[in-house]
């Protein structure tokens, strides 16, 4: 289950894929990987005594913008466990927890990856600051493709989630009216 990961400081689809190791390979996204990468170090009091506590530590340490419920063991080895969060039988979030890695005592996150928030259940995304929209056929549009301008404001008035509050190049739009992959 161990897949080499490259520690890249590259927020591109290729960077997220190479940085997310086995977690990224486990995903079954409609599009590319939305978020993904490896974990940093933590102290002895942060790691868990079991793989389940390692998954909980992932949410405490990494604070990812994904559900903290509904994961199942997809694969287990002596010192690694792959957890997946499935939607309609397809893996949309994957977390690999590992035991006693250098600078990471106990069980805790090794790599994680997730698909676009539009691929997650609406009952989850509707409670978060995502602006998931539907196309003309009623299909959810990936958050990374949602954009808006002064000419086409977001109907709900909710601000799309974005880690960067810098507007894209081009004509200026009022702050908070755009979304892009983060």
What pLDDT score does 150 carry? 45
Around Cβ 5, how many Cβ atoms within 10 Å?
20
Q: Are the C-beta atoms of residues 69 and 58 closer than 8 Å to each other?
A: no
How many CA atoms lie less than 13 Å away from 120 in the CB half-sphere?
A: 28
More confident of the two residues 20 and 1: 20
- pLDDT band for position 63 (50/70/90)? confident
pTM of structure: 0.74
């Amino acid at each position: 289950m161990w897949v080499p990961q490259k520690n890249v400081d590259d927020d591109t689809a290729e960077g997220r894929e190479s940085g997310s190791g086995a977690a990224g390979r486990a995903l079954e996204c409609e599009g590319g990987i939305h978020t993904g990468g490896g974990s940093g170090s933590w102290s002895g009091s942060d790691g868990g005594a079991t793989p389940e506590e390692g998954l909980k530590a992932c949410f405490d340490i990494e604070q990812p913008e994904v559900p903290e419920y509904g994961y199942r063991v997809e694969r287990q080895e002596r010192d690694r466990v792959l957890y997946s969060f499935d939607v309609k039988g397809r893996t949309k979030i994957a977390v690999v927890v590992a035991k006693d890695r250098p600078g990471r005592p106990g069980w805790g996150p090794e790599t994680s990856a997730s698909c676009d928030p539009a691929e997650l259940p609406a009952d989850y995304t509707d409670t978060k600051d995502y602006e998931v929209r539907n196309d003309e056929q009623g299909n959810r549009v990936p958050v990374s493709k949602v954009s808006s301008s002064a000419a086409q404001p977001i109907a709900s008035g909710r601000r799309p989630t974005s880690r960067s509050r810098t507007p894209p190049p081009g004509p200026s739009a009022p702050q908070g009216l755009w979304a892009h992959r983060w």
